[in-house]
Every structure is written in C-alpha cells, then in structure tokens.
Structure 1
C-alpha cells in the first residue's frame, strides 16, 4: 500500500532518520506520561496529601508538554519537507512537460496535467506530511509500549500482541479494497478534468453545430458516475474506521476485564494495572491514525504515483542534423513505414487516402481497447512529398490525422528509430530537428 518510490525522494533518508529519532523520544514521553499519571492517581486514591503527589503531577505535565512539543516540531518539519518536495516536483513536472511536449500531453490529457500541477500538488503535500510520520510511528511507538507492558503483566502484553496482527490483516483487506475504488474514482476524476477542458476549448464549435445540450448531458452523466465512485470510496473508508475502532475497543475491554478480575482476586496491584490501562489506547493509536490518514490521503498517493509515471515518460531530445537545410521547391520528404501508437488506445479504424503527390496504399488498422481515452495507432505509413504542395489528409474522427501531423512536425517520434525519414537524400530517424521545426 506504500509506493516504494517514496523513499527515493530528495533527502528522504535524512527525513526518515529525523522522524525515527523523534518517534523514539515520543514513545518514551508517552511512557513517562502514563507512568506518572498512574502514580498521581494511585496517590490520590490512597488519600495522600498533594505535597506527596505534586512531583508526580509535575513530571506528568513535563512529559505531556514534551510529547506536544515533539508533535508540533514534527508537523512543522514535515510541512516544510512536503512544501520543499512538492515545489521540486512541480518544477520537474514543468520541465518534463516542456521536454515531452505534445507526446506527453496527449498521453495524460490537458485537463489532467493542469489539475496535477494545481490541486494535485496540494494533495501530494498533504500526503507527504502525513504518511511518513504515521508510518514511522507505527513501526516504533507500539513496540516500545508493548515491551514495557510485558514487564508489568505478560497476559496483557499477549492480548495486545495477538490483536495487532488481526488489525493489520483487516487494514490490508479494507485498504486494498479502498485503493481499488480510489483508483477507479481517480480515473473518473481525470476523465472529468480532460472532458471539462475539451468542452471549454470547443464550446464555440459545439454551439455552432447545435451539440452543446447533448454534450452537457454527457458531462452530467460523467459527473454522476464520479459521485457514485466517490461514495463507494467513503463507504469502504467508514467501514475500515469502524473495524479499527471495534477491535481496539474490544481488546482494551478484554484487558480491563482481566485486570479487574486480578485486582478483585488480589493477584494484581493497582499501580501496574492502571499503567497498563492508560497505555493500551496509546498502543493502538498509531495504527488507528495510520488507517484514518491512509484513506484521507489516497488522492495524494494517486497524484504522486502519476507524477512519478510522468517523470519516467521517455522523451526524445531535439537534434540538429539539418542545420544547413532550407525547404524549397525541389526539396523532398520521404517517410517509410511510419508506426506509432499511444499508450492508451480505443477501438477505431485508421485510413489514409492519398491526395496530390502523397503515395502509398490505403491503411486500415484495428485499435486496441482501454478505459482512459481515445488515441490512434499508425502502422506502415508511407509518404512522398515534394516542394510546396497542398496535401490533404482525409479520415474520420480518431483515424490518426492529428497524430500523423504531429509526427511530421517532430512532436512525436515513430517507434522504429532507424531510417524513418529522408529529406533531400539525408536519412533521419525522427523530425525533432531544430532547423526543421523552425521552418515548420
């Protein structure tokens, strides 16, 4: 449930070491808080004067303030780290967008890219500021408390130890279900973003064609589907919270029952029993916080995963093999066996009809299917252009006309890297050439 790429973020190791030290200190502050609170309560139960329990009360307050101070410093430190990291990620994403160009934007969608750069960064900042402290607290605090409880009463320690894996199991099951639903919800969110941007860009065209009302109904249906998916995520999150609260409350009640029986039978004394009862909720607190924050940060987790994928998107550097080239009436462009397809494609057909001096037979290709967005597949496309001609590329919507134009402009790179193009006898693998694009 934790993306391993998180640990490759800048200064992640330093941050984790800092958090580990803070959590160890916080665990001992929790122990001191519970111990001296129990001693003060036992002293009051025995009707000791305040002067005798004043030291215990003072030490309780010191450990309490220490714990709150650690929490404040941890939140400040993690907010600072999250803001610095998201600023760096935003800059890397912008640089990647400029490097990837149309190929990258076509893959992830304009609306999705804009939303990731704006709202997505806030979600990621919240995710980073919460997930690391909760994860480190879960790995350290319960076990320090458990070791101390074992020194006081082995039976209570075994009850706590046996319930903990059960909570982990239920959290994994429900967390997996929540992650699956959240992923579908996020996909719907991405679709809604891209559709909204497309609607804004084509609003005037939709009105001219009389399709505005029909397109509005499509937007309404997609927004309703997104709402239903969001409610599904909330149902799983609420069920997970109920499960954690139920089992933690049940285990604490069992411990209280055994401690009460031991006190009645005279097998236990009040002070260690009270310490165990005070520390038991603290033992379960990290896993409850982790479970609640896990659901609260799912969107941030999905947004960060998408940014990692975008940053790993392969880009083709611009070349300068045509530095002395100028297109004129005698210039020729020959393209052989061009092939290209986007990562996510839909069912469609691709047709190229030759017009003017474009050569090659009609190509029909069957598209693959996906739930993301429509894109085109080009395979074995051949072109032979000379001079300043007027050339028409004809095909239905989604056939690949824009994709072919982007390849010819050098914005997209064909899959086969060798001998795709020949310009005035010079062989090129791709048209992402500085001088070529300047003339285009």
Structure 2
C-alpha cells in the first residue's frame, strides 16, 4: 500500500473517533491516573527500601508508607478494569456506527447493486473487517496519548533526582517509535492483502456452498475442493506473514527497552562503586535515587511497549479500512435518492410514466423510454423475452433502481416520496422466496396482528395448509437459513401467503411460479389470480396460456413497451404478442 494511501486511511480512522470521543477520553484519563499511581508507588517503594537498608528504621516508622503502597496496588487494579471497560465501549460504539454507515449505504444503493458482489464479501465487510476496528479505538488511540504523557511525567520526576538517568531515558526513547513505524508500514500492507484474501475466500466458499448440488451434478466437486484448498493456503500464508511482522515488532521493542534499562542499571552500579561521579546535584547518589530510577525505567518504556503491542491493531485497522473507506466514499454514477414527500394514504393508487429511463447502478440504461398509465384496480400482465426489461420495471417500481424521466404516483414523483411510506402500500412476490424470520408463522404474519380465521383463510388460499401439518411444529417450525428446511415450492407458498395477508394497494409479481413444479405453480398462480382483484396488480410472467383473465397485457421488447391490449385484442391481430404465443406453443409441441 502506498504511503499516501496509508496516511489517507489513518486520517479517516481518526475522523471516526468522533463517534466514540467520550469513551476514548475516559480511557485516556484513567490511563493517566494509573500512571500517577505508578509514580507514587515507585516513590513509596524507593522510600521504603532506603529507610530499611540505608537508615534501618524500625517497622513502626514505615508502616504508613507500606499501607499507602498497598492502596496504590488496589487502586491501579481498579483503574485498569475501568479502563478496559471504557475502551471496549469505545470500540463497540465505533463498530456499531460503521456497520450502520455500511447498511445505510447498501440501502441507498439498493438490492440491484448489492447483488453485483458475492454475499461473502459483504459479510466480510460487515463482520471481520469492522471487528478489526475494536482494538484500534479501544487500545491504540488512547495509548498514543499515554505514550507521550506518561514518559513525560516520569522524566519530570527523575530529572530533579538524577539528571544522568533522565538523560539516558530521554536519549534512547525515540529509537522505539522509529523502528516501530518501520515495521508497522509493512504490517499494514500485509494486513490489507490478508483482508483481500479473506474476502475472496469468504465469497468463493459461500457461493460454492450454495451451489453444492449443482457442482455435484456436473462432477465439479473435486476441482472446486482443490480451488478452495489453494485459496485457503494463500490465506494461511498471508496470515503467517502478518503474525511474523507482529512478532518482529515486539522483539524490536523489547530489545531497545532492555538496552536502555541496562544502561541505567550500569550507570548506577558504577556510581555506587565510585567509578562515576556525575548525574547528581552536588550530593552523592543515594540509594533512594537509584531505586526510584530503576523502578521507573521499565515503567518509562511500558507505554511505548504497550503502544508497540497495540501497533498491530493499527495495522489491522488500516488494512480493514481500505475496503470500508473505498465503499463508503465511492460515488456511484446512479444512486437512489430518498425523498421527503409523504404520500397520502387511503387513496386509490394511480401510476403514470412518461419518458421513463431505468438506470443500472453503473449508470447504463436498462430499459426505456417507457410511457404508460396504470389506473387504480387494473390488473396487468407484463410479457416478453428474457432481457426485455420486465424485472427492471418491477425493481424501479419497488424503488430499488434509479431512473430518469417521470414516474408519478398519484401525481408525486416516486423519487420524491418517503421510501417507508411507499413500501407500506406494496406487496411483492419474486422468483426466489425470501424468508428472513425464524418461524413459518413469523414469516407469514411479518409483524401483523390478524385473527386465526383470517390466517387460516390465507393458508388455504396459498396452499400452505397442504404441507404445514407435515412440519415438526406446524406454524412454529423454523425455516432455517435461506429456508433450507423447506422445498422451493413450500417456501414460495409461504411468501405468497405473506403477500396475500398484507393490506396493499399495489401487488407486484415477478415470475412467482418460475422455479416451481406444476402442482405448486397451479396453487400459487390460482391464489395470486384471486388476490389480483383486490388492488392494482402487475404480473411479470412467461406463461402466456392463462392471461385471458387479466385486464390488459403489455408486451416488452428491448426495454420498451411495444404493444398493449386485452387478450382478445392481442390474439386477434398480428403482432409481437401473437408471435410470442406462436413461438411458445411451438416449444411445447
């Protein structure tokens, strides 16, 4: 990673500190109080040793100092515990804030943009890479301040007692941060490469896991196993590289700290032997001065040692911030903007489009220009070949894709409406059922309160009652991850029941029977046909033989609506719909 990029990420990380400033400030203050107790503890201990060895005072004269020393030990333990708590709260606050920023950004970009990357990469961004921020804010940032303040306080105590010892500590202290920075540059780059490898491994593994049956069907199991093994080995090597740099950093710190403490000890040893006679202020070097300097010398380097220990947290945070910063600061060519206009409720819903151009997340045009009107209560079937733009029209009506031109809902531009208000008026059933709640009942009710009779009516209409009795706990049965405990047909029937139960003014159906067997498809389509009479409905389908019961049929080709009319009108004249119908009948024959 370039130095310029590292500096940019470091500045961004420090800017995020604003969200946890109270906790980081408390952690720093507690660390400073603990340092003052360390100095007091060293002073008391040196005084005790001087009284016992040099002056040989009786026990009664130093009991007070011993009691104060024990009190310092207890107070330091309490402050250390409180500092750990404050640091954890700081990291927790930052992690929550970053996750909220990522989720808000994903919501702004919409599902169409999210689907461009594997689920594993988003999981890595939200979990592993965000988690790596914890120690940076909980430990490293407060320790940076303490690494300057605590050695300064210790020098203020040592210099009046013995200037030579203070000068030795002052001269050797800069070596530690210098070598720590040199090692840290390599560690940050290694962490960035490690996170990239982890994101690839997570995404590839999850995608292969979800397509396991397909891989087995085409005898690709062995090849994919070798591919995962190669990616895992690459991740292992990068992880070991990060650990090697972390251990190297610790070794460098310990080496220079030990050298400095040894020089201080040698100076006092030769001074007591009479070989050296400097460092004092006109009087001989006392035992108190020697003990105080030697006790505080390790404590002088301890904040720098701790900073070095936590320096890998900075390297990890910088490596993780690379992807987070790039995602949060990226500017997409087409971004969904959410308006502030409140849509009046309990009014018949009318949709009018004029010059509507549907835009992909990368800025390319998916469909358009489109001009249509969808009056309240009308039931429209949208047909066309794959890639004609049918699903894009559904997604823009859901608010998941940006657009140009005009798309008005009761006279208000869709982009100006509050998304929450608009989604309250919608019910949607797609090709792949999504059951995010824990149990079957929760997925159907979706937070609503309905009577048992109404629930039973919907279960029968959607065909859920045919299989619900065979589940272990009935409606209380858990659906499992991605509805793994249900067949596709069963999951789709539950999704249909959820849509039927929701009071709405616009029902959007995007090929709801595409992945179902014949029996499940009949149940689903029969239920949706019955429900279509209760509100405005737009159905995307490839099944042309059951469209006679719909009010109007729209035919799409190359992103445009090229034909509109009823079943009788479109089948009685030559045109795109008649060609589709002839082609489909030829495929069946």
Q: TM-score range by the shorter chain?
A: 0.7 to 0.9
Deviates more, 1:202-211 or 1:97-106: 97-106
1:302–1:179 Cα change, 3 Å: closer
Q: Report whether the alignment pairs 1:316 with 2:310.
A: no
Q: Report whether the alignment pairs 1:219 with 2:231.
A: no
Question: CA separation in 1, counterparts of 2:394 and 2:316?
Answer: 36
SS at structure 2 position matched to 1:152? coil
1:289 is displaced (CA, Å) by: 0.9
1:310–1:289 Cα change, 3 Å: same
Question: CA separation in 1, counterparts of 2:147 and 2:398?
Answer: 53
Q: Report whether the alignment pairs 1:68 with 2:88.
A: no
Question: CA separation in 1, counterparts of 2:192 and 2:58?
Answer: 60
The one of 18, 24, 27 aligned to 1:19: 27
Q: Is the 8 A contact 1:145 1:279 kept in 2?
A: yes
The one of 275, 282, 291 aligned to 2:308: 291
Task: Give the number of the structure with larger relative contact order, counting CA–CA contacts within 8 Å between residues 6 or more apart.
Answer: 1
The one of 360, 368, 385 aligned to 1:391: 385
**2:490 alignment partner in structure 1:** none
Correspondence 1:180-199 to 2 at 5 A: 180-199=189-208
Question: CA separation in 1, counterparts of 2:253 and 2:393?
Answer: 55
1:21–1:318 Cα change, 3 Å: closer
1:391–1:340 Cα change, 3 Å: same
Q: Is the 8 A contact 1:127 1:297 kept in 2?
A: yes
**1:49 alignment partner in structure 2:** 58
**1:279 alignment partner in structure 2:** 296
The one of 237, 246, 250 aligned to 2:255: 246
1:15-55: CA deviation from partner (whole Å, max 9, x where unpaired): 34323432332222111111111111222223333223323
**2:548 alignment partner in structure 1:** none
1:80–1:381 Cα change, 3 Å: closer
SS at structure 1 position matched to 2:133? helix
Normalised by the length of structure 2, the TM-score is 0.57
Structure 2, unaligned stretches of length 5 or more? 1-6, 278-284, 373-381, 429-505, 511-589
1:6 is displaced (CA, Å) by: 3.7
Question: CA separation in 2, counterparts of 1:300 and 1:81?
Answer: 14
Question: CA separation in 2, counterparts of 1:50 and 1:248?
Answer: 36
1:302 is displaced (CA, Å) by: 4.2
Structure 1, unaligned stretches of length 5 or more? 342-377, 395-401
1:68-112: CA deviation from partner (whole Å, max 9, x where unpaired): 221111112222343344345444544443333325534664213
1:272 is displaced (CA, Å) by: 0.7
Question: CA separation in 2, counterparts of 1:392 and 1:58?
Answer: 84
User: Could you say which structure has the larger radius of gyration?
Assistant: 2
Correspondence 1:14-413 to 2 at 5 A: 14-46=22-54, 47-102=56-111, 105-106=114-115, 109-120=118-129, 122-265=131-274, 267=277, 268-296=285-313, 298-299=315-316, 302-303=319-320, 306-307=323-324, 310-312=327-329, 315-318=335-338, 335=357, 341=362, 388-393=382-387, 411-413=400-402
SS at structure 2 position matched to 1:317? coil
Question: CA separation in 1, counterparts of 2:51 and 2:368?
Answer: 93
1:218–1:408 Cα change, 3 Å: farther
1:333 is displaced (CA, Å) by: 7.2
**1:359 alignment partner in structure 2:** none
Aligned length: 390
1:262 is displaced (CA, Å) by: 1.8
Deviates more, 1:48-57 or 1:83-92: 83-92
Normalised by the length of structure 1, the TM-score is 0.74
SS at structure 2 position matched to 1:170? helix
1:167 is displaced (CA, Å) by: 1.1
